[in-house]
Amino acid sequence: MTAADTGRSTAYSGHNRVSTQALTSTAQGVASEVLGVSPELIRASWRDDQGALALSLALPIGIPSLNRVVFDPQLVDGFGGSVWERVHAAKGEVLARISDITGSALSRVDIRVTGVRIQDGGRVR
């Protein structure tokens, strides 16, 4: 006999909460994958945005050596575009992935680039 057969609801009493630390760790992991930055270099903070969550990320971003870009401007494309293009594109992906993973309603993702890290090669996906 199932809950549907007895007319009982399958909903359970109580509350489910995802802690701020769990949200922060998830945000760092997702941003790390999307932007190719080590998670320990990413700072994440949260604030209420009229009932939804607004995420602020602060992180350095990888760029090719400027000496190499002078001789091969296409290196920028190998990294996924300019810093602005990469960060702009990452916002939507970070928001969607965190929402999917945690079930939380995010209203926005703000990304502040705090520095650069010289990397060899292009972006690895």
Give the tens place of pLDDT for each residue, 62-75: 998 888 999 998 98
What does the pLDDT read at residue 93?
Answer: 98
Euclidean distance between CA atoms 70 and 26, whole angstroms: 37
Query: Is CATH 3.30.70 the right assignment for the domain spanning 18-117?
Result: yes
Half-sphere exposure in the Cβ direction for 112 (13 Å, CA): 8
Name the more confident of 47 and 76: 47
| 52-63 and 43-49 beta bridge pairing | antiparallel
Token pair belonging to 49: 């945005």
pLDDT bucket at 92, cuts 50 / 70 / 90: very high
φ/ψ of 119, rounded to 5, equals -125, 145
